[in-house]
Amino acid sequence: MTRKTNTAGPSGYTILLADDNPDYLAATSLLLGRQGHTVLTAGNGTDALSILKNQKVDLLLIDYYMPGMTGEEIVLKLRQVNPLTQIILQTGYAGEQPPHELVYRLDIQGYYDKSEGPEKLLMSVEKCLKGTLK
Amino acid sequence: MIPADSPSVQTIGIKKPRSLPGRIRDWLFKPADSIKRQDDRRQAQLLSILLLAIILLMTSGVFGARANSPVISIILAVTVVIELIAYAFSRTRHYRIAAAIAVIIQILQTQAVFIFPGNYNINSATTMLVWSSVNVLLCSLFFSSAVTSGMAGATLIAILLILFPLAHLEFTPLLVSPFAFYIGMSVLIIVIARHRDDLEKDRLFELTVANRELDAIRTQLEERVAERTKELRQAYDDVQAGHERLLHSEKMASLGRLTAGFAHEINTPLAASRAALTEVDHLIHEYQDSIDNPEVTPDDHREIALELFKVMKLADNSMENIAGFVHSIKAQTRDVPDEELLSFNAVPVIQEALLLVSHALRRGNCTVTFEPEMETAELHGIPGQLAQVITNLVTNAIDASAEKGGGPITLLLTQNRERIDLQISDQGSGIAPEIQPKIFDLLFTTKSVGHGTGLGLTIARDIVKDVFGGSIEVSSQMGEGTTFTLHFPHYIKKSK
């Protein structure tokens, strides 16, 4: 069993992916996993916060609209205790809030519109990871 | 203006045949004003004929008197009778009075001839008869012409009336009194006639002036009405245009809400599919690269195929979600002409409408439960418009709940013998009692500019009322929540 996978070697980064759509979690995990990142997933805000409490996470990729707690609320809570974790807010519809204003207000590193495609996501992720303190 | 055929006019009308006592009553008491000019003229003609008869009788009476015949008394009596008839035919009040006095004097004169026969010779009695009868003739003509021909004729006859006795040379004490009476009467009648004419002229003048003024006012009024109508039409057109603009802006706002919902519902599974396809791409490359590679075993290939299959399934699943969502939208907005009302089951329509607001529900941190009491609730109307009402009310419920950080929204569908009720309740901020009466008003909104058009509830009410023949009511407690209740009538099929 020596498959010629074109998976990058371990990057050493841990990414937490939070979204209420299980298909999206699964597919995006595969996408990010290919880049050698360790991907953790959470189906809602509460799970995401408990993972963040117990584990070192370099980047949080979080959906804006989630049942129970919105991405914005999670970010605000997280920022109270952890100002360093890189955060990318994702949304299916970027039209409602200007991304620049959101990035500035919530002290996050990126804003990803799901319609922009996987390439754009990987680029944003790489940019953010490069900015992390190791 | 009284219509010509109204009963009030008919009772006055002279053409209407009347019984003899009725006619006599009319002759005696009917006021002059109600008599027409034409009738006066006819009456004057009749009087002339009667008076001609008097003259003839008088003349023969004179001859009879000369022969000292008792015929004279008969003739005089007949004269009096004819004069009485003339009186009866005279309808004008002052003529009647004058004629009555004339008749009395005539009787007195006649009686004088017989009471004091010694003082009169046959000649003086004859003379008296002749001139008094001529006086009566002139007087009658005068009265009738004063009534019919106006001043000129009346004056002429009055002059003759005065001149005639002056030309008579034999004055007796008994003759003096009627003579003075006739002169006085003539003057009086001239004064009355002149006054009457003046009055008529004045009235005619006033009428002409009033008529002209009325014409001017009417023209002015017509102009003003036309002007106002034009202004009103303009205002109506403006309002109509404004209304259309507002409806359009509400449509655009709804469209914006819908688009946000669509985008979110579609973009997430779409992104999942694209990520999965990226993985497919990787696996295909791996598969290709490992062909003919001795190190890669068939088991490895099987594993790659299995992974491919899984990822394909993932992508397919997401695509299916999108397809399902699009299908639900299509079901809501299916091509039903706007005006076509149909009977439909409200339950799936409500369920589909709730799907459309699921994005907004998540954003407002709200949950929705829909509890239909029955499987089918048949309504008659336009399904898409019911969905619009539900979307509007649930969006409002979300907004109200979001102010309290979210909350449950409940839809309850019930029916009884009279109607079908749909309750939409939230536990949001509530509506202040003072603004509750205004919430259905056009353009009333408490939301900030760009977030509310003030049309949503107005349109919801209009749809429930006009399209479904139902009604909508609201009950709310500040800080506790709000319940909108829609009442729909049961649809009764019309037999064709």
Distances (CA, A) of B23 to B30, B32, B88, B289, B437: 10, 14, 10, 132, 71
The DSSP code for B407 is: E
> What is the C-alpha separation between B95 and B40, in angstroms, rounded?
11
CA A69 – CA A80 distance, rounded (Å)? 16
Chain B contacts of A23, Cβ < 8 Å?
Answer: 269, 272-273, 276, 314, 317-318, 321
Q: Helix or strand or coil: residue B333?
A: coil
Contact criterion met (CB < 8 Å) for B271 and A1:
no
Chain A interface test: which of B264, B310, B356 (most A C-beta within 10 Å): B264
Instruction: Specify the 3-state DSSP secondary structure of B230.
Output: helix
User: Which pLDDT value is given to residue B210?
Assistant: 87
Backbone angles phi, psi at B116, to 5 degrees: -115, 65
**Predicted pLDDT of residue B271:** 92
B316, closest residue in chain A (CA to CA)? A23
Instruction: Identify the CA nearest to B54 among candidates B171, B155, B141.
Output: B141
**Two structure tokens written together for B224:** 């003003």
Residue A61's DSSP bridge partners are A17, A88
For the stretch B318-342, pLDDT in tens is 998 888 777 766 655 545 555 678 8
Rounded distance between C-alpha atoms, residue B205 and residue A25, angstroms: 102
Q: Tell me which chain A residue has its CA closest to the CA of residue B408.
A: A68
Tell me the torsion sign for CA atoms B165, B166, B167, B172: positive
pLDDT tens profile A70-129: 788 889 888 888 888 899 988 877 565 667 887 888 888 888 888 888 999 999 999 899
Average pLDDT of the residues in B138-160:
53
Residues from chain A that touch B368, judged by Cβ atoms under 8 A, are none
Half-sphere exposure of B18 (CA within 13 A, CB side): 15
Contacts of A45 in chain B (CB under 8 A): none
| Residue B265 region by backbone torsions, left for phi larger than 0, else alpha for psi between -120 and 50, else beta | alpha
Cβ atoms of A88 and A111 within 8 Å: the answer is: yes
Q: Distance of CA B143 to CAs B80, B94, B128, B154, Å?
A: 18, 9, 22, 7
pLDDT at B14 over 50: no
Q: B317 and chain A: CB distance < 8 Å anywhere? A: yes
pTM listed for this prediction: 0.48
What phi and psi, each to the nearest 5 degrees, are found at residue B409? -120, 130
Contacts of A114 in chain B (CB under 8 A): 267-268, 270-271
Q: Per residue in B163-208, pLDDT tens?
A: 544 444 444 444 444 445 455 555 555 555 555 566 667 778 888 8
Distance between CA atoms of residues B181 and B162, nearest Å: 10
Residue to substitute from A7, A19, A20, A65, interface B, most B β-carbons within 10 A: A65
CB of B81 within 8 Å of any CB in chain A? Answer: no
Stretch B79-101: mean pLDDT, rounded? Answer: 56
Neighbour-count burial for B220-235, b at 16+ CB within 10 Å, e otherwise: eeeeeeeeeeeeeeee
Q: What is the pLDDT of residues B282-291, one digit of tens each?
A: 999 988 888 8
State the Cα–Cα distance between residues B177 and A111, nearest whole angstrom. Answer: 131
In whole angstroms, give the CA distance from residue B444 to residue A133. Answer: 53
Say how far apart CA B96 and CA A68 lie, in whole Å. Answer: 109
Q: Which of B307, B313, B320, B362 to mutate to test the interface with A (most CBs of A within 10 A)?
A: B362
**Is the ipTM beyond the 0.95 threshold?**
no
